[in-house]
Structure 1
Amino acid sequence: MSATLPASGTQTARATGAVHPGYRTLWRWHFYAGLFVMPFLIVLAITGTIYCFQPQIEPLLYPHRLVVTPMDTPRLPADTLLARAQASLPPDAKAIRAHIDANPARSAEFVFALANGSKESVYLNPYSGDVLGTLDVDGRFMQVDRMLHRKLLLGKSGELLMELASCWTLVMIGTGVALWWPRSTSGSKGSKLRAAIWPRLSTKGRPLWKSLHSVIGIWLAVGALAFVLSGLPWTGSWGKQFKELATRMSVGAPRGAWGGGLPLKSTLPGAQQAANTAAPQMDHSEHAGHDMASMPGMVMDDLPLPNVPWAVGAMHVPQSPDATAPKPARWTLDQIVAQMAALGVASGYDIALPASATGVYTMSYFPPDPQQERTVYIDQYNGRVLKDIRYADYGAVSQVISYGTSLHMGRYFGLANQLICAAISLGLAALAVTGFVMWWLRRPTRKLGAPSRERAAPPMRAWKTGLAVLAVIFPLMGATILAVLLLDRLIFSGSRDLSLS
């Protein structure tokens, strides 16, 4: 976003009072933020819009795997379908996840870990048991789109770049609003407001692009801010640390999530667990406390689950060595499905299957309504519910983030939510495009084209305080702010004075 000013240039702008002290400083920072954010913003906008419509797109991409013709005959038992899926793969394939869906037009899906390290989904007709096909989990179109959105398919370095782009978008929004803010003393209030919120389509060239850029930006400012803030908790660096901090302070993961006397691992029949036999069937203790350090190994985010509620992502899961004694029979998948139905969750969830003799069945229910989220751990031998974590158990921060996530993904109120998210995403892409066109039309020869500094800039304490706050909250961004300051002083200090038109 940039200020909407008359095409007559700098002198006219100053005469009307539109150029206020500090304007060029804000414009300079807006330029740097936009320069860095622009390519990432386009990627985020396109991939985010696509992922938002995942429920509609995937059945069109894989109709022969995902979609079946509903039949009047009963669906086959889950264990029968799992056995048939297993038989279609090499003997060393290991079942790691089951998707449970009661939709009569939806195929059954099971995920297996293969010997080469890849994961493969097997789809079956739930009525006949016929194998419909397979998909590489990591090569699935929506998974590729998701990884582009989160990390540009570049691993940790891409994840950090996307996080930085999100943080610098906050600077772009803040400076854009400040530059847009109408300050002219001439003209009626109505005409100034109209010029500020409606593009001047009668103009041509760069003034037209500037008008479009500023108007699109101000209309999207609130939505863009909400998008950034709701997406940052899921980032791989700051988001992960924030999640761990929220968990330790009991404003993220449920308090007492690992307390109450019940160990969150399956009890091998015959083992000496006298302390556990007297424990209640279900632990709902809210104040027992939990020791994250005493639960080494994977956290929930590491499990082979497509979606895990943010509140439980940093919580550790059982990881114990296989017992040397012969393994007793464990509960069947059908029994676990019946157990979940008894708990009030009948469809639309995923089950991570036990990975060891003391592992547990881990159920993750991630519906559009955050208040229905559930994470359930069940003993694999006796079906005892070891923990049932619900929205009401979350800390205040996690409850807010759960709603933000659902809105961010376009899930909370159906198609309307998807369309709003798409409009904001594509509008952000339009900001990047119009900003590039504006720069291209006024670019100097062999120069970056950053706006020149003010000869006597005001203190701008509020602006400096805002940058300092962002640097403290987002340390990685703080390092890049210092880098930009150094580059601005040492390399870009000679940028010529560019016209404001």
Structure 2
Amino acid sequence: MSATLPASGTRTARAASAVHPGYRTLWRWHFYAGLFVMPFLIVLAITGTIYCFQPQIEPLLYPHRLVVTPQESPRLPADDLLARARASQPADAKPIRAHIDTNPARSAEFVFALANGSKESVYLNPYSGDVLGTLDVDSRFMQVDRMLHRKLLLGKPGELLMELAACWTLVMIGTGVALWWPRRASAADRKRATLRAALWPHLGATGRPFWKSLHSVIGIWLAVGALAFVVSGLPWTGSWGKQFKALATRVNAGAPRGAWGGGLPLKSAPPAAPMDHSEHAGHDMSSMPGMVMDDLPLPNVPWAVGAVRVPQSPAAATHESVRFTLDQVVQRMGALGVASGYDIALPSTATGVYTVSYFPSDPQRERTVYIDQYSGRILKDIRYADYGAVSQVISYGTSLHMGRYFGLANQVICTAISLGLAALAVTGVVMWWLRRPGRTVGAPSRERAAPPMRAWKAGLAMLAVIFPLMGATIVAVLLLDRLIFGTPRTLSVS
């Protein structure tokens, strides 16, 4: 659409402004948010939908590695399977993770760190011990899809871009709902603004009015779900999410109180020392340097414990002892009520511990357990009830976001929201194309006498404070809007 419209178009813009002061201001911000967000929304929608169906897709992609024929004979011990997997790898390969799954139709999986820095999964028939094949962990289809979803395969820059896209989606949702909200001046207009018209597309329209109707209706139906998607995904982002997790951990609103420090000292008993079964006795692990849970080679770690430091076995290297076996760890977890579907990060040093991460679809069953590699003593057993209030909410949000909480129905709902967001992006592009201006970006015109819109400005300021990275881009958009796209123009709002 050209920069200047005939008188009829001008009257349309004036009418819209008259019935809804601030309409064009909101439209302008909606345009800027959509301009940035739309390509990312399409990527997020496709990759998110695929990842949502990981349990169904992966066995189809790798049937000869992941799927086995159930047999009457018992499964081989975990230590025997690990030894066979180790024998199939180079001598300098180090086992770092074991996946424990009692599903009779699934293979056994162990992950090794190779000398070249890569990680490789080894799959075995749990009945015969035969090696079924290997997969590079980072090249696995679902891992590539996950990294596309989180960081566009661009590392930290991609992670920041995706975080910004999520933040600006909040602006797009807020302005979209405000633009949709029926405000009519005349009785005739009020009659047309029925609930049906607001929630159902005008299928009889053609051209841009049809696409605008479709875009508006899709957006309003998806508003709540899209908002839930964004809010539940932001805690997992690499910049803001990481800082928010660390803050929640420090104030005991995220990680369990005392993990680590703050009243619950832990001890990993040296082998030659008398075993103390008191959970609260011994060395204060909060003073021990080491990795946090997010650093471990685990596929999924509950958000609540991601920033928690992993305990060590102090002075264990000076004592001669036999390591607690993998089968004993499995038995210990079975006694705790966790029999299948969890991962064990294996001790990589003489002072390491067995770290068990159980990340089921029901957040209330999440478990993180640390087991001394020599004595087999449980150093800490973290459950959902131990989480802070923030982490308990985020745990539910994560399960719903990933389509895991209530099975196939959850997956279908997530798919509908994801594909609906992609449809919003596509219809937005079509609307822009139909009114495309010549040699300009096509931003809606600025109102000559815009109302104060204090609530809108306060909302932007709040977002800028909560999400500092987004705050910097808001300032950048304001500057660009004034310096480059600042010439007032009159555009039709139809």
Q: CA deviation at 1:258?
A: 2.7
For 1:427, which of 420, 434, 442 is the aligned residue?
420
| Corresponding position of 1:246 | 248
- Structure 2 counterpart of 1:483, which letter? A
Q: Does 1:149 align with 2:146?
A: no
- 1:96-128 CA distance string (max 9 Å, x none): 000000100010000000000000000000001
| Corresponding position of 1:416 | 409
For 2:266, which of 249, 263, 266 is the aligned residue?
263
| 1:59-208 equivalences in 2 (<5 Å) | 59-185=59-185, 186-187=187-188, 191-208=193-210
Alignment check: 8 A CA contact 1:261 1:279 kept: no
Alignment check: 8 A CA contact 2:12 2:492 kept: no
- Structure 2 counterpart of 1:165, which letter? A
Q: Does 1:382 align with 2:385?
A: no
Instruction: Give the Cα separation in 2 of the matches to 1:18 and 1:204.
Output: 26
| Corresponding position of 1:296 | 289
Q: CA deviation at 1:16?
A: 7.5
Alignment check: 8 A CA contact 1:32 1:450 kept: yes
Q: Does 1:472 align with 2:465?
A: yes
Distance 1:170 1:83, change over 3 A: same
Instruction: Give the Cα separation in 1 of the matches to 2:372 and 2:313.
Output: 14
Q: CA deviation at 1:193?
A: 1.8
Alignment check: 8 A CA contact 1:25 1:457 kept: yes
Alignment check: 8 A CA contact 1:22 1:458 kept: yes
Distance 1:198 1:88, change over 3 A: same
- Secondary structure of the residue aligned to 1:335 is helix
Structure 1 unmatched runs, 5+: 1-7
Instruction: Give the Cα separation in 2 of the matches to 1:328 and 1:495.
Output: 79
Alignment check: 8 A CA contact 2:10 2:490 kept: no
Q: CA deviation at 1:366?
A: 0.2
| Corresponding position of 1:220 | 222
The two structures have a TM-score, normalised by structure 1, of 0.93
Distance 1:375 1:55, change over 3 A: same
- Structure 2 counterpart of 1:206, which letter? R
- 1:410-453 CA distance string (max 9 Å, x none): 00000000000000000000000100111111111110000010
Instruction: Give the Cα separation in 1 of the matches to 2:151 and 2:36.
Output: 16
| Corresponding position of 2:42 | 42
Distance 1:13 1:28, change over 3 A: closer
| Corresponding position of 1:230 | 232
Instruction: Give the Cα separation in 1 of the matches to 2:315 and 2:67.
Output: 38
Instruction: Give the Cα separation in 1 of the matches to 2:349 and 2:361.
Output: 32
Instruction: Give the Cα separation in 2 of the matches to 1:85 and 1:190.
Output: 69
Q: Does 1:445 align with 2:438?
A: yes
Structure 2 unmatched runs, 5+: 1-7
Alignment check: 8 A CA contact 1:377 1:388 kept: yes
- Provide the alpha-carbon RMSD of the alignment: 2.0
Q: CA deviation at 1:262?
A: 4.8
Q: CA deviation at 1:317?
A: 1.1
Distance 1:190 1:207, change over 3 A: closer
Alignment check: 8 A CA contact 1:310 1:401 kept: yes
Instruction: Give the Cα separation in 1 of the matches to 2:423 and 2:478.
Output: 28
Alignment check: 8 A CA contact 2:120 2:137 kept: yes
Instruction: Give the Cα separation in 2 of the matches to 1:18 and 1:226.
Output: 33
Q: CA deviation at 1:355?
A: 1.3
Alignment check: 8 A CA contact 2:249 2:255 kept: yes
Distance 1:452 1:291, change over 3 A: farther
Distance 1:378 1:37, change over 3 A: same
Instruction: Give the Cα separation in 2 of the matches to 1:324 and 1:455.
Output: 75
Distance 1:220 1:429, change over 3 A: same
| Corresponding position of 2:3 | none
Distance 1:141 1:321, change over 3 A: farther
For 1:406, which of 381, 396, 399 is the aligned residue?
399
| Corresponding position of 1:340 | 333
Q: Which moved more, 1:156-165 or 1:318-327?
A: 318-327
Q: CA deviation at 1:13?
A: 6.6
- Secondary structure of the residue aligned to 2:138 is coil
Alignment check: 8 A CA contact 1:66 1:106 kept: yes
Instruction: Give the Cα separation in 1 of the matches to 2:203 and 2:63.
Output: 45
For 1:307, which of 296, 300, 304 is the aligned residue?
300
- Structure 2 counterpart of 1:232, which letter? L
Instruction: Give the Cα separation in 1 of the matches to 2:313 and 2:441.
Output: 57
Q: CA deviation at 1:377?
A: 0.4
Q: CA deviation at 1:192?
A: 2.4
Q: CA deviation at 1:12?
A: 4.7
| Corresponding position of 1:3 | none
Q: CA deviation at 1:500?
A: 1.1
Instruction: Give the Cα separation in 2 of the matches to 1:18 and 1:456.
Output: 11
- Structure 1 counterpart of 2:353, which letter? V
Q: CA deviation at 1:267?
A: 3.1
User: What is the number of residues matched between the two proteins?
Assistant: 483
Q: CA deviation at 1:295?
A: 3.8
Distance 1:414 1:261, change over 3 A: closer
The two structures have a TM-score, normalised by structure 2, of 0.94
Instruction: Give the Cα separation in 1 of the matches to 2:16 and 2:335.
Output: 71
- Structure 1 counterpart of 2:217, which letter? V
Instruction: Give the Cα separation in 1 of the matches to 2:317 and 2:231.
Output: 49
Instruction: Give the Cα separation in 2 of the matches to 1:261 and 1:431.
Output: 50
| Corresponding position of 2:33 | 33
- Secondary structure of the residue aligned to 2:133 is strand
- 1:121-151 CA distance string (max 9 Å, x none): 0000000101000000000000000000000
- Structure 2 counterpart of 1:245, which letter? L
Q: CA deviation at 1:11?
A: 2.7
Percent identity for Structure 1 against Structure 2? 82
